[in-house]
Structure 1
Amino acid sequence: MGHLVTVSTCALNQWALDFEGNLDRIVASIVQAKAQGSSLRVGPELEITGYGCLDHFLEGDTFLHSWEMYARMLQNEDCHGILLDVGMPVMHKNVRYNCRMLSYGKNILLIRPKLWLANDGNYREMRYFTPWMKPRQVEKFALPRMISEITGQHEVDFGDAVLSTFDTVLGAETCEELFTPDSPHIDMSLDGIEIFTNSSGSHHQLRKLDLRLNLITEATAKCGGIYLYANQRGCDGDRLYYDGCPLIVVNGKVVGQGSQFSLNDVEVVTATVDLEDVRSYRSLMSHGLQSRTTPTYQRIPTAFALSKSGSTFDPTIVPTKPRPIRYHRPEEEIALGPACWMWDYLRRSKSAGFFLPLSGGIDSCSTAVIVYSMCRLVVSACDEGNEDVIRDARRAVGLPESEYIPTDPAEFASRIFHTCYMGTENSSFDTRQRATRLANDVGSYHVDLNMDLAVSAVREVFVVVTGKKPMFRVHGGSDAENLALQNIQARLRMVFAYLFAQLLPWVRGRSGGLLVLGSANVDECLRGYLTKYDCSSADINPIGGISKTDLKAFIAYARDEYNMPVLQSFLDATPTAELEPITETYVQSDEADMGMTYEELSIFGRLRKIDKCGPYSMFIKLYHEWTPRLTAEQIATKVKNFFFFYAINRHKMTIMTPAYHAESYSPDDNRFDLRPFLVPNMRYGWAAKKIDEVVARLGADKRD
């Protein structure tokens, strides 16, 4: 006789320190899970506080308010009658832990601290928490008086244990523990635990979802079991977007998968699973033999069952069938991830909209199209009757008390999206025309201006003060003069951007200010091919973690998906900053200026950050990859030039606009790429000598 259990997991859009709002979303997910017949509900990591509190986790108030919210949840009858797995920080013996709170009704069953903390890349959990270094050990935790008054308990078990119900055994993993070589679910499965919960705060990164899903499906494909994965969703106040995608997996097969990108603050995924399927799956001789040598977990007994009571067969309860895993293509990820991140930023910052300097190039074009994608998502959510999105959209357009509902993406964009082409005498007709056509297609409120008067005024101030007039290189000026004159234009664009962002709502009879959007891609940031404090300095940057190669693929996708033929002209155009005069023999080109292609920059970035290569090891790897297309000497020159420009421009990363994190080779100095911004030996002298020795030896070998 099978034992059918209905279980739920969820994705919640929690906001750091939004205690009451976070609790409301937790309760909403519990109510939905119960309505769907579930006897178990699993929520995201640190869902009561929000995952991204960062140094707020060092504050006692954060722990106090967590207990206050948890007390409300225990008292709320809507949260009774279902086993709950809720995430919050807990201090035990003056040590801070990242914990799972397992409860039923008003009874706390177990506090399970996280064993392995995420402490690299974007994560610094060991700055705030201590890992539980006592596997399979349990201590007594003294409950706060506010909790004891509700539960009647004074102590509960705290540690690495599992729950034993009348019909099954359940154990918890937390996020990073899934990614470790010796994951807890391995030993738990060998000790007879049948249901695993994983509560996560896992961020979106291009092409990353398959890694996560492979780990989850493999966990039970090899060991057998039922795996419930919950995740945070949305931007909780930082550069990361947590991409949801809650999962329910049985014996390696997905029976429930939520959306990866959505404007819904609460999403619950429910499935009915058969415990007997797990027991049958584990009937291997090797499983039985290995289970005899595996240490046992302390089981915390409970007084309830997850399956329906009685032995009578109920034909209305049917196991959920497996389904194929759903993935988005990278182009779709770019269209959806940054768009959802921007919507969260817009609605929670209470801004009046966005302002974007629209240059006519593919980078600012990509940013504009992502805003348009956001507007499409808003309209779609409104069509589905999402009251939260409707309310936020009304506030964003300045009509909070009206009956306004967005029905057309371009119309909604015309209210909240503002663009400006900031031209000079060095700008071309083509870029101005492209910017105007794109603004018309996406629906932005567009302004077109010439900055020549302002640029000339700044240059004349310098002439009056110094008595010397700088000239462009094409007019006989030095490299220093040429660079300074380019930077005047770039930095004035930043000044104009903030002027228009502050005053355009006033011009249109509205209150509030606009968020200024940056549009420097990850490769330009890596190379430092931008002016410090120019219009790359903004409030947020949706494409700052996306490569030029991926942006081109995204624009090609958007051209067809959004029916915007104008986007082809951006793909066909040569990338140019248009900061130098155009002559019959010279047109400024980004790739010519940089001395390397954008494709090469992506490769350099991945080798530098992901493969952790210095100049010498990068040269060796590229020699094997790029010969005979390039000679050893050509490869050496490119590698040395990359590291030189990376070093001299590293200081620019200290002030880069907070960007959506989308690539694992992001050079973001403020969170992700912790390297010096002053590199005294900018030519990497010793490494360069070793490269030259190899080049010389290879040349000698060829002559021989």
Structure 2
Amino acid sequence: MRKRIVAGAALNQIPIDWEGNRNRILEALQQARAAQVDLLCLPELCITGYGCEDLFLSEWVPARAVEALLELVPHCTDLTVAIGLPVRFEGKTYDCAALVHNGVLLGIQAKQFMANEGVHYEPRWFTPWPTAEESTIEIEGQTYPFGDIIFEVEGVRIGFEICEDAWHGPKRPGVSHCRRGGVDLILNPSASHFAFAKTLIRHDLVLDGAQRFRCAYVYANLIGNEAGKMIYDGEILIAQHGRLLKRNALLSFRDVNLVTTELDFDADPEQPLPSLPPYAVSKEEEFAAAVPLALFDYMRKSRSRGFVLSLSGGADSSACAVLVAEMVRRGCNELGVEAFAQKAGCLTEEEMAALLGKAPEVQLLYLTQCLLRCAYQGTVNSSQATLASAQNLAESVGAAFYEWKIDDEVAGYTRKIERALGRPLTWERDDITLQNIQARARSPIIWMLTNATGALLMATSNRSEGDVGYATMDGDTSGSISPIAGVDKHFISRWLRWAEERLGYTGLHDVNSLTPTAELRPLENSQTDEGDLMPYRVLYEIERLAIRDRQSPIHVYRKLVEAELEPPALLRSHVIKFFRLWSRNQWKRERLAPSFHVDDFSVDPRSWCRFPILSSGFTEELKALELEEVPELITVAGRRAESRT
């Protein structure tokens, strides 16, 4: 009988945290032994952390990783364990997984395909290993198999597909395994970043591998915000013969998440087995789970004492406040209030004692008060409606709330420049100047509150603003972390309505009833964000085509005309405006606070989207678009009428 209990373990690691990473691996080994696991798959590069960036170019990091592996080997008793690490071999560095059986290192598998798109730059650090080639490596006087290996452990043939390897269809390593006699089990140690609906793709990859290669398949991913920007959902999938047998809940606040099941490697591939369906989770729910976990890890791993937020009462800053409140709620629901607070590591002894002394129904509100401080910084151009919106939301989630005016600071700056120029500043002549000084005058004092409390300042710019530079540098872009910069404003507005209804944040009622506005011009001007820019729905469609799909201005315009979002002439003006603002504001995107990658694309120039700071600004392309003939608008109903005649 070839029955084995197999498992995958998701780990929340930190780059070059040798002791911490080791302890979390040891915790996974302990949990596996307690569950009588025979074979355990750990995530990719779990010894060092995946996000070491250019540290992988050094020789000392791979060398220290091998030392750490050898320290772990004696702890792998009564288990077969796959452990991810970088290995230096013949002058090159490889992304590897070591297989250890009952305290003995059996060999080291090297990754064959490097992720080199979107947020990944693996070829910068690692060399791909040739398919089906084997070699040997010497470590401390011992020789071990190295390369593309099929292991046999107690009658079970084991092969590997390391993360990106599985995404290469007919070239994926499982195909080579079949040519070499096949395997009973494929292990996939992964560091696959979170993105909306990505779990559905992984589900298909794992089931396809288990079906095509007539084997069992164990997939284990990292979990949490490991290095600052990318989030890992900790997905574990165990399948056999094309059927999903076991998986876990995603985006856990726990450092170790173990999933086990028993497999019969002699089972008939045609035997009917129940298969779990793929996840059916909305984009809104994924956002509400991923970003709070990322904020929690960002806070504790940066050793910060919570967050500070300039809460305007508008959509963007309100979304940031709710995400922190949701961080507290989800973390406490999973870990318990005391364990969550201890893991956060930022409460004083007095705060911890006060927390534990409170009734359960108010503990979450008190914790949020300890971890989130909000300030409404009004001017003569601010409305009573946004003040009430900000105050109501802060009180409803439990955040500490302050309110002050910055008119004196704005007036002081303005007088100095008027003396320097020898003339008064007017709205007719100096609109941008007078708007920006209000946003910038808010920055020093909110930073002061941040520094005084040892917290992280939350920047509130969204991706739509990043596209077109609709944000004041050193104003609303100020911050240590920008939690919503990875999503568009159209989604933020929709998510806030969802959060009010589905998550129960009743304090969002006022926020959701307001028209988005910067409130930087005099109130009688009735300033709105969409009036300054364009409808957010149109802006989203333009960025999707221009940035994600990399279409030229004229192709973007033609696609939008087909979609009939607006009259063609208006669409043309919006496309021209977008590309001009996009190319003019790359320098702003270069200076935005770190953000989380959550969508299938982003405008982060340090990861997904690189664009020159200086360029022609699409001069020829926009001239061609200006000359493009504007078609007569024909509605869908009109086309149907024509077809009837």
TM-score range, shorter chain: over 0.9
* Partner in structure 1 of residue 113 of structure 2: 116
**Cα offset for 1:278?**
5.5
Cα distance in 2 for partners of 1:565, 1:390 equals 25
1:28 has 2:27 as partner = yes
Residues 68 and 640 (structure 1), Cα distance of their counterparts in 2 relative to 1, 3 Å cut:
same
Cα distance in 2 for partners of 1:437, 1:632 equals 42
* Partner in structure 2 of residue 241 of structure 1: 231
1:129 has 2:82 as partner = no
* Partner in structure 1 of residue 175 of structure 2: 186
Residues 239 and 278 (structure 1), Cα distance of their counterparts in 2 relative to 1, 3 Å cut:
farther
Residues 384 and 33 (structure 1), Cα distance of their counterparts in 2 relative to 1, 3 Å cut:
farther
Q: Which structure 2 residue ranges, 5 or more long, are not aligned? A: 634-645
Cα distance in 1 for partners of 2:573, 2:337 equals 56
**Among 460, 474, 477, the residue aligned to 1:536:** 477
Deviations 1:513-558 (A, max 9, x none): 1110011111111121111111222000111101222222322222
Residues 689 and 457 (structure 1), Cα distance of their counterparts in 2 relative to 1, 3 Å cut:
closer
**Among 331, 337, 351, the residue aligned to 2:304:** 351
* Partner in structure 1 of residue 441 of structure 2: 492
Residues 183 and 126 (structure 1), Cα distance of their counterparts in 2 relative to 1, 3 Å cut:
same
* 1:445-524 map, 5 Å: 445-472=400-427, 477-478=428-429, 481-503=430-452, 505=453, 513-524=454-465
Cα distance in 1 for partners of 2:35, 2:3 equals 14
1:229 has 2:219 as partner = yes
Cα distance in 2 for partners of 1:124, 1:558 equals 35
* Partner in structure 2 of residue 156 of structure 1: 144
Residues 641 and 350 (structure 1), Cα distance of their counterparts in 2 relative to 1, 3 Å cut:
same
Counterpart of 1:395 in 2: which secondary structure? coil
Cα distance in 1 for partners of 2:562, 2:501 equals 38
Residues 619 and 210 (structure 1), Cα distance of their counterparts in 2 relative to 1, 3 Å cut:
same
Cα distance in 2 for partners of 1:630, 1:555 equals 25
Residues 404 and 422 (structure 1), Cα distance of their counterparts in 2 relative to 1, 3 Å cut:
closer
CA contact (8 A) 2:467 2:581 kept: no
**Cα offset for 1:373?**
0.2
AA of the residue aligned to 1:127: R
**Cα offset for 1:167?**
2.7
**Among 588, 591, 616, the residue aligned to 2:527:** 588
AA of the residue aligned to 2:68: M
**Cα offset for 1:58?**
1.5
Residues 401 and 427 (structure 1), Cα distance of their counterparts in 2 relative to 1, 3 Å cut:
closer
* Partner in structure 2 of residue 288 of structure 1: none
Cα distance in 1 for partners of 2:13, 2:600 equals 24
* Partner in structure 2 of residue 646 of structure 1: 582
* Partner in structure 2 of residue 98 of structure 1: 95
Larger CA Rg, structure 1 vs 2 = 1
AA of the residue aligned to 1:688: L
Identity %: 28
* Partner in structure 2 of residue 414 of structure 1: 369
Cα distance in 2 for partners of 1:486, 1:119 equals 41
**Among 288, 292, 310, the residue aligned to 1:339:** 292
**Cα offset for 1:651?**
1.4
RMSD (CA atoms): 2.1
CA contact (8 A) 2:131 2:176 kept: no
CA contact (8 A) 1:350 1:396 kept: no
**Cα offset for 1:12?**
0.3
* Partner in structure 2 of residue 73 of structure 1: 72
CA contact (8 A) 1:525 1:667 kept: yes
Higher mean C-alpha displacement, 616-625 vs 493-502 = 616-625
* TM-score, with length taken from structure 1: 0.85
CA contact (8 A) 1:391 1:400 kept: no
Cα distance in 1 for partners of 2:144, 2:208 equals 33
* Partner in structure 2 of residue 312 of structure 1: none
Cα distance in 1 for partners of 2:354, 2:506 equals 34
Cα distance in 2 for partners of 1:332, 1:441 equals 21
Counterpart of 1:540 in 2: which secondary structure? coil
**Among 563, 566, 585, the residue aligned to 2:504:** 563
1:217 has 2:229 as partner = no
Counterpart of 1:129 in 2: which secondary structure? coil
Counterpart of 1:193 in 2: which secondary structure? coil
Cα distance in 2 for partners of 1:662, 1:519 equals 16
Deviations 1:400-424 (A, max 9, x none): 9859549532110111210000000
Counterpart of 2:51 in 1: which secondary structure? helix
1:139 has 2:135 as partner = yes
Counterpart of 2:298 in 1: which secondary structure? helix
Q: How many residues align?
A: 627
Deviations 1:556-603 (A, max 9, x none): 2221334332312212211000000011xx300000101x11111211
* TM-score, with length taken from structure 2: 0.93
CA contact (8 A) 1:204 1:240 kept: yes
CA contact (8 A) 1:85 1:102 kept: yes
CA contact (8 A) 1:619 1:639 kept: yes
Residues 189 and 353 (structure 1), Cα distance of their counterparts in 2 relative to 1, 3 Å cut:
same
Cα distance in 2 for partners of 1:193, 1:15 equals 33
CA contact (8 A) 1:80 1:105 kept: yes
**Cα offset for 1:38?**
1.4
AA of the residue aligned to 1:355: V
**Cα offset for 1:36?**
1.3
* 1:401-440 map, 5 Å: 404-405=355-356, 407=360, 408-440=363-395
CA contact (8 A) 1:189 1:225 kept: no
* Partner in structure 2 of residue 301 of structure 1: none
CA contact (8 A) 2:300 2:345 kept: no
1:633 has 2:569 as partner = yes
Residues 116 and 691 (structure 1), Cα distance of their counterparts in 2 relative to 1, 3 Å cut:
same
Cα distance in 1 for partners of 2:423, 2:494 equals 46
**Cα offset for 1:638?**
2.0
Cα distance in 2 for partners of 1:353, 1:698 equals 55
Residues 278 and 115 (structure 1), Cα distance of their counterparts in 2 relative to 1, 3 Å cut:
farther
CA contact (8 A) 2:241 2:269 kept: no
Cα distance in 1 for partners of 2:26, 2:490 equals 43
CA contact (8 A) 1:609 1:664 kept: no
Cα distance in 2 for partners of 1:260, 1:177 equals 22
Cα distance in 2 for partners of 1:430, 1:516 equals 24
1:674 has 2:623 as partner = no
